[in-house]
Chains A and B, each alone.
Chain A
Amino acid sequence: MKSRRGREIDGHEAMSATQRVAGDAWCERSQSKGRTTLNVGGRWTVFTLGPLDRQIDAMKLDRADAIDISQLEELDTAGAAELVRLANRVGNKQAAVPIEGAQDNHARLIELAGKQKLRPEKKPHVSWIMHQLILIGTTSYGLLLQGRNLLSFFGETLAVMFGIVRSPRRLRSTAVVNLMEEVWLRALPIVGTLVFLIGFVLAYQGIEQLARFGAQAFAVDMVGLSVLREIGVLLTAIIVAGRSGSAFTAQIGTMRVNLEVDAMSTMGLHPIEVLVIPRIIALLVTMPLLAFFANMMGLLGGGLATVVFLDFTLVQYFERLQEVIDINHFWAGMIKAPVFAFVIAVVGCYEGLQVTGSAESVGRQTTKAVVESIFLVIILDAIFSVFFVSIGL
């Protein structure tokens, strides 16, 4: 087949010249009595048109008077469209050349393809710089809008919460207790294990480094300080954001997809009161408990490291801890827990309520909720740090 690609054959030779391999699409030019005819044949289908296109390009066609398709074995709509295109291309400006010798079913396909508008719709073209500018603009605007919406959601939540404080019977206590089990009790093993390990690693690294100055005993101060002030509560918040914040978004988001939230509203139930407040309260109450547990496990991990690498006994370790770590450090960590809890719960619920229609958007909002809440938690942590230092806590 390759040898015939793009070859010109004149009139009578064409019929006898080539042994045609069944299956492949082909196109030839023949001339007789000053009339140029394109003979096409084989299978013109989506499975053969790609190579055929290169073959036709190589023929450098300009004008022809007709296209003869009597030798066509198989044709599909794509092939018919290609034939119509070819007829337009070799014809003059006014009219396409006739397509001759079509079998009935082929003629029907060609008619069908000819009726359609063949020029594919072009995507509107945007230059690279413009595209980047648009991106920056939409992103910044989106961020501003997001900030404003989150803030107004915070406000609405607080207002509803205030209403509940005035008439506490409106609090859904069963839901709160269920959620507490989910976000607190079931989170204990993972939070405990992770913070224990971090405490251990922290103490071990501290001992290694401080031993150079013969100050390895100060590793205890270091572990106590960093676990109580920062690591315990921060790690807890990050785990809770990934575990419970995302669950809040997914739960509420799925309810939105099922139109449960809309159904709720039409029955006179306030979605914020029913869905958001129980989650916020559950997290607000249990996050300090979780953070306290994390602190203790972190200290225990540090203790184990000092026992193993420093020949301390656990009693000695805790005595030293008591001696050097002021209780204020503990409070400086703990006070952050309810704040983080509030932020994680509000962001999780807010993103859940932003879900629209599709299941795809549940996934998108969940990712967004986790990223946003961890981001906010770390920003707030930095602000707290600066603030505590400036008031000398």
Chain B
Amino acid sequence: MIVGATTPEGEPKSMVLGNPPSDRPAVIRIRNLKTKFGPKEIHHHLALDVFKGEVMGLVGGSGTGKSVLLRVIIGLIRQKKGTVEVFGQNTANLHGASLRKLQSRWGVLFQDGALFSSLTVAENIQVPLREHARLTARQLEEVAALKIAMVGLPPDAAHKYPSELSGGMRKRAGLARALALDPPLLFLDEPTAGLDPIGAAAFDDLVRDLQRNLGLTVLMVTHDLDSLNAICDRIAVLLDKRVVVGPLEELLKFEHPWVREYFHGPRGRAARIDAV
């Protein structure tokens, strides 16, 4: 199946393999996306749908624009052309209050947590709450404590500063902050990078559990083949400025040198992706 009907003939197209859960509403809908840095084109006629309740992994070689795509969706980078719709709203048309409303419906976990270094973990979690929610001082404390417990941090982490935490704890704290407003949509930028295999697996489990319990839609940039295997429902591969989306089984059959190398290479075998 090919999406993005306006693509001119002969150019590589974004492709959807297998059966997407298109009976559910699309949370993110990208059409005809084109992004450029100076003369360098990053995405060209890119099309992608992320449906409600799925965990989508975003992979691709270095410099193929995974993080750029993530940043375009959350509005940190402006596209040259094309539309990005999140919850049915075109992000390019939103300003002021409507943009803030949309921003309160997604949470973003940046690579190393991106916690505010001058605030404690609890205060970090309270930042979006103070900005968007209407809570009393007692509730602020309690919600922060609840989120800290939900991401598996010890209670005494609440009053620690980010510099006093280990890398894995910082990621968990970042996740707690991303979940502060119970957003239905969660973006994760390389959530397991820099964690040891045990920590990475635990983080995967945490994301999966939260996703199930809270009914989240998750879009995660990752290089971790184990995470792709363990928690992603579908995977989007950035190839030649466009994207190929499908469940892992379908991508394993997909004929493209990079995709073959990626999933069937030594690391792919080590992650026992072939066994899927």
Contacts and interface: CB of A to CB of B under 8 A. Distances in A.
Nearest to B139: A49
A117 B138 contact: no
Scoring B147, B159, B182 by chain A CB atoms within 10 A of each residue's CB, the highest score goes to B182
Contacts of A116: 145-146, 149-150
A118 B215 CA distance: 22
Contacts of B260: none
Interface in B113-164: 117, 122, 129, 132-136, 138-139, 141-147, 149-150, 155-156, 158-159, 163
Given A77-B146, A77-B182, A78-B143, A47 B133 contact: yes
B133 A360 contact: no
Contact of B158 (A82, A108, A112, A121): A121
Contacts, number: 88
B156 A121 contact: yes
A386 B214 CA distance: 74
Contact of A46 (B141, B143, B155, B163): B143
Contacts of B122: 120
Contacts of A112: 150, 213
Nearest to B149: A116
A47 B134 contact: yes
A118 B145 contact: yes
A112 B181 CA distance: 16
A360 B115 CA distance: 13
Contact of A81 (B132, B146, B181): B146
A212 interface: no
A50 B135 contact: yes
Interface residues of A, number: 30
A8 interface: no
Contacts of B149: 116-117
A70 B145 CA distance: 27
A51 interface: yes
A359 to B, nearest CB: 9
A123 interface: yes
Contacts of A260: none
Given A118-B145, A121-B159, A358-B163, A78 B182 contact: yes
A116 B153 CA distance: 11
Contacts of B213: 108-109, 112
A123 B159 CA distance: 7
A78 B159 contact: no
Given A105-B215, A112-B150, A358-B163, A50 B142 contact: no
A156 B233 CA distance: 60
A256 B213 CA distance: 44
B196 to A, nearest CB: 20
Interface string B183-227: 000000000000000000000000000000111000000000000
B159 A46 contact: no
B145 A49 contact: no
Contacts of B159: 121, 123
Given A105-B215, A121-B145, A46 B132 contact: yes
A169 interface: no
B7 to A, nearest CB: 39
B155 A357 contact: no
Given A77-B182, A105-B215, A108-B213, A53 B136 contact: yes
A48 interface: yes
A357 B145 contact: no
B214 A49 contact: no
Contacts of A49: 133-136, 139
Interface in A22-68: 45-51, 53-54
A273 interface: no
Interface in A69-89: 76-78, 81-82, 85
B150 A53 contact: no
A119 interface: yes
B139 A53 contact: yes
Interface string A197-223: 000000000000000000000000000
Interface of A: 45-51, 53-54, 76-78, 81-82, 85, 105, 108-109, 112-113, 116-121, 123, 357-358, 360
Closest 9 CB pairs of A and B: A76-B182, A46-B133, A50-B134, A116-B149, A120-B145, A120-B141, A121-B155, A78-B143, A50-B135
10 contacts: A45-B133, A46-B129, A46-B133, A48-B134, A49-B139, A78-B133, A78-B143, A81-B143, A117-B155, A357-B163
